[in-house]
Amino acid sequence: MNWNPDEHYKSRAVAADYDASRFSSLSGRVFNRLEKRTVTKCFSRLPKGSTIADAPCGTGRLAGALLEAGYKVHGLDISEAMLDVARQRLGSYGKNFTCEVADLKKRPSSEPICNGALCARVLMHFSLDQQIELLTGVAQLSRSVVVINQSLDSGYQRFRRRLKRWLGNQPPARFPVSDKDIRILLEKSSLREVKRYRLLPLVSEAVYIVAEKI
């Protein structure tokens, strides 16, 4: 499969359809809500008013939850089309929401520009080496906490993935990771795990990990 996550979301049609195609079903709405609540909980150690880098920001779905919780957000994404949707959605937050086009694998900043950073729903699309490249770029944006989201690989989740394929559904993550991979990913990105949250572990592979810079 030559689906390329660096290119796919640059399409205006894909960007316009992103939220509706993933989060308008009943299960999508439940999961979206839970994810927003979890992300906010992950940053609870950061004082309100701090700036969080949402990298990648996409259409501003999770940035909206952080703004609502009282943080400022700076979004970064490789896709101008996705950021245009975010700008429209979050215009009412004025200067509390800013954004820029950036390739996170190319380390957009060598100096931290934010108090915290969020990296959601992107790592699982890349091989472990590319995940390390991308997360290193994200970690460099933050002075302290970095929150990542991944898809967990386990015997049970492999069984679910096989079942999904058999039923004709494509599993969402191309590169789910084991606990060992997570340790390698964090260590090579100069991060250390502090806490993790599983989201509906019986029906989802999703895990949110709160990490701090080493």
Under rule CB under 6 A, residue 133 binds ligand SAM: no
Pairing of strands 206-213, 142-151: antiparallel
- The span of 1-9, 44-52, 64-72, 109-117 binding ligand SAM (CB under 6 A) equals 1-9
Query: How far is 86 from 91, CA to CA, in rounded Å?
Result: 8
Tokens 């079942």 -> residue: 163
Q: How far apart are the first and last CA of the chain?
A: 36
Which residue, 163 or 169, has its beta carbon nearer to ligand SAM? 169
Q: Would you count residue 122 as binding ligand SAM (CB under 6 A)?
A: yes
By CB under 6 A, is residue 85 in contact with ligand SAM?
A: no
> CB of residue 23 vs ligand SAM: minimum separation in angstroms?
9
Distance CA 161, CA 115 (A): 36
**Shortest spacing between CB 64 and ligand SAM, in angstroms:** 10
| Number of continuous H segments (helices) and E segments (strands) in the chain | 8, 7
Q: Is 205 one of the binding residues for ligand SAM (CB under 6 A)?
A: no
**Shortest spacing between CB 79 and ligand SAM, in angstroms:** 4
**In terms of DSSP H, where are the helices of 120-211?**
128-139, 155-166, 179-188
Q: Closer CB to ligand SAM, residue 82 or residue 182?
A: 82
- Is 84 a residue that touches ligand SAM (CB under 6 A)? no
Is 189 a binder of ligand SAM (CB under 6 A)? no
How many CB atoms within 10 Å of residue 200?
A: 12
For residue 165, give every residue at least 6 positions away whose Cβ sits within 8 Å of its Cβ, in sequence order, or none.
171
- Judged by CB under 6 A, the stretch of 41-49, 101-109, 152-160, 161-169 that binds ligand SAM is 101-109
Q: Round to whole Å and give the CA distance between 73 and 83.
A: 13
| Cβ contact 122:56 at 8 Å | yes
Contact letters (x/-) for ligand SAM, 42-81, by CB under 6 A?
--------------x-x--xx--------------xxx--
And the tokens for 123? 């790592």
The binding site for ligand SAM (CB under 6 A) comprises 5-6, 9, 56, 58, 61-62, 77-79, 82, 103-105, 120-122, 134
